[in-house]
Amino acid sequence: MTVAKTVHDYLQAHDLRESVLRHKHTHCSSETAEAAHVSGRKLAKGVVLQTQDDYHLLVVIPAHRRLALDKVSELYGGHLNFADEAELKALFPDCELGAVPALGMAYRLPTYVDVSLFDQNEVFFEGGDHESLVRMGSEEFAALFEESAIGDFSKPTSH
């Protein structure tokens, strides 16, 4: 597998060609960053949340940080939970389980993006499998998220 059709089609509709970086198969974003030789600051990971009304939204944060659920809940205005595997499979049918692309809007999900990702000169994100990343320049990345909620949605990981 490579870049998911939905991701490919969405980028194409926005006149962007995906630049794909291949890496060995990984199981989590920290492994992906290491395998692809990409800084965790530049690797955007998608976290899917479920609302109290059974809707879903996607929060995009840097891979070297963790989700600040309280901040997203406050902005959303309600209680949020992490989506389970069955929900992920239904929401991202053309992706491998757990390889959530940062482009929530391509899957008709409201998308929240951590502001720190816009400070990078380039950003990488899952293409829909556990062996490829989409690489994008900072201006292209920012343009894709013009209509997304942007804020401080992450916090340092605790070791």
Residue 159 placed within a domain: no
62 within a domain of the structure (yes/no): yes
| 40-75 pLDDT tens trace | 999 999 999 999 999 999 999 999 999 999 999 999
pLDDT, tens digit, 9 for 90 and up, residues 91-143: 999 999 999 999 999 999 999 999 999 999 999 999 999 999 999 999 999 99
The Cα 101–Cα 117 span in angstroms is 15
Q: Report the C-alpha gap between 82 and 135 in whole angstroms.
A: 26
What's the farthest any 2 CA atoms get from each other in the chain?
41
Please indicate, yes or no, if residue 158 is contained in any of the structural domains: no
Encoding tokens for residue 91?
A: 């929401």
Does residue 155 lie in a domain region?
no
pTM strictly above 0.85 = yes
Residue 156 domain-assigned? no
Range of the domain at 120: 5-150
Number of structural domains in the chain:
1
CATH of the domain at 96: 3.90.960.10
Distance of alpha carbon 41 from alpha carbon 121, whole angstroms = 11
> Is 32 contained in some domain?
yes
Half-sphere exposure of 86 (CA within 13 A, CB side): 0
Residue with tokens 């995906």, as numbered in its chain:
18
| Residue 97 domain flag | yes
